[in-house]
A and B are shown apart, each in its own frame.
Chain A
């Protein structure tokens, strides 16, 4: 752990109803994450990495146990409080980018700021700064269908980073990208992690991503199998 814990996960269990039965995706996870970490949840499909990421991101609720994110217990948050946590402190990067297709690059990146109380000049500056981080200042007026996969993911990174959140959650961010683009966006995220001290948590089984991680948490069948710390 690099710094004080911003995420504490204690005996976290998540079950999903399947037909008349139940499927246990997380079987008692215990983890802590500190400020400025560049960590990854690694494991094959069904290991529970996306489920854990969703709970950390307050998009889902634990069945048992506790997940405290930025001092807030996820299971005790109302829908409004969860939304406030996501709006103010979390950034998301998805495998399939999840950009708003009819909006321009600028509008996509501006979106999280619209939900916060920024003035128009403030928003414009922040959006342009974020686009500069990912090298897309020349694409402000383009719409996602006009961009390559790599460019779309860079827009998604800019959108996640624009409000300078404490924590960015990235679910398989390179799954739809070729090697060159994957390295490009990973370097971008690495730089942002260094410069802004933002905590990044990935859910991945991509070797390219794993190569960049400073902390690797291997999940297997809903449990932490083992962890590796990379010291530089």
Chain B
């Protein structure tokens, strides 16, 4: 087999341009597949990381009735803060939040909004809640950039906020946007207004009540507490996993097309080789090879395209991967409407597993594609082959 590798290498290098064209196409497939997979891994990492830092912490407790996809559950999804949570809240390791539906009237237009109460003093999440302590004669509120854009509000804007308290009475007050924050997590931005938890509890007539809690410590043995069910980080990021899975499947089609193009070129080369190199095949047999050994030689020769492609891909791919990991990939569209955390610049993450798996897949595919036409050699008559007679 060592000889087969040696000969295959000599034959490949000797074939010149034909080899290098195939190798370039295949190396391109290598680089694109690894890069695109790297982007997906990077996105997964970034989305989960951002969600943790901005919204969910290491996990949450939800009121049993709370369903973020059912607006009708919001009114009743609150309960008193369990006494078990209070020490953690006091240590700043847990953040209670109270949700209610409301309406704002920017520029005279009516716009539904989710009002979210959060302690101004919390530091667990990256939402700049300290701004909620701003001195103003209106209710200080903060919103995200997407909300600011859609409602034409900006820092300093004042707008009427209407809500319905726990007794069913409609009430309204003026809020002042004291800060507009930028986040990649749309579930804390789109159609949401953040105000101080105490103000919220007071306005809704729900003192000491909360809808959900984000906590900082995932290691404690946690379970359902009173009316609040545990939602682990895994539960809360399941949507991202599902989306990444879908994207992965979608991208696989692209990988298959890329690989097919490269494989077609190698298959073509193999077919051409077997037709053009009949004399050579006959010579190998005359010099002491069995036909099966010639099949193996041609298969190795075809498969070595993948080895050369991996080497070439390393030459220009590694600097490209490093550069991409540093500067990232700017998503060429507005990511704020994606409905899930997508950073405007994604940073690919490459793992050894990703590189090895891709290399193995390409090597295996190339070997199969190389073997397929080479099987014809086993049926050749060596005396005809020696004369270069097409069989």
Contacts and interface: CB of A to CB of B under 8 A. Distances in A.
A102 B287 contact: no
Contact of B279 (A98, A103, A159): A98
Contacts of A87: 287-289
A158 B333 CA distance: 68
A94 B386 contact: yes
A98 B283 contact: yes
Contacts of A59: 285-286, 382-383, 386
Contacts of B335: none
Interface of A: 50, 54, 57, 59-60, 79-80, 82-84, 86-88, 92, 94, 96, 98-103, 107, 111-112, 114-115, 159
B86 interface: no
A100 B280 contact: yes
B290 A102 contact: no
13 contacts: A83-B289, A83-B293, A86-B285, A87-B288, A87-B289, A92-B286, A98-B280, A98-B282, A98-B283, A100-B283, A111-B7, A114-B7, A115-B288
Interface residues of B, number: 25
A96 B279 contact: yes
A153 to B, nearest CB: 14
Q: At the interface, is chain B mostly helix, strand, loop or mixed?
A: helix
Contact of B15 (A79, A102, A159): A102
Nearest to A84: B288
B11 interface: yes
Contact of A102 (B11, B279, B282, B285): B11
Nearest to B289: A83
A115 B3 contact: yes
Contacts of A101: 14, 280
B279 A86 contact: no
B287 A115 contact: yes
Contacts of B7: 111, 114
B305 interface: no
B63 interface: no
Contacts of A159: 287
B287 A103 contact: no
B290 A80 contact: yes
Interface string B363-391: 00000000000000000001100101000
B155 interface: no
Interface string B269-287: 0000000000110110111
Contacts of A103: 10, 14
B247 interface: no
A112 B10 CA distance: 15
B287 A86 contact: yes
A60 B382 CA distance: 8
Given A54-B383, A59-B383, A92 B287 contact: yes
Contact of B288 (A83, A94, A96): A83
A98 B290 contact: no
B290 A83 contact: yes
Contacts of A88: 288
A79 B290 contact: yes
Contact of A86 (B13, B280, B286): B286
B222 interface: no
Contact of A83 (B279, B285, B388): B285
Interface string B9-21: 0110111000000
B89 to A, nearest CB: 76
A50 B289 CA distance: 20
Nearest to B15: A102
User: Nearest 3 pairs between A and B by C-beta?
Assistant: A102-B14, A87-B288, A98-B283
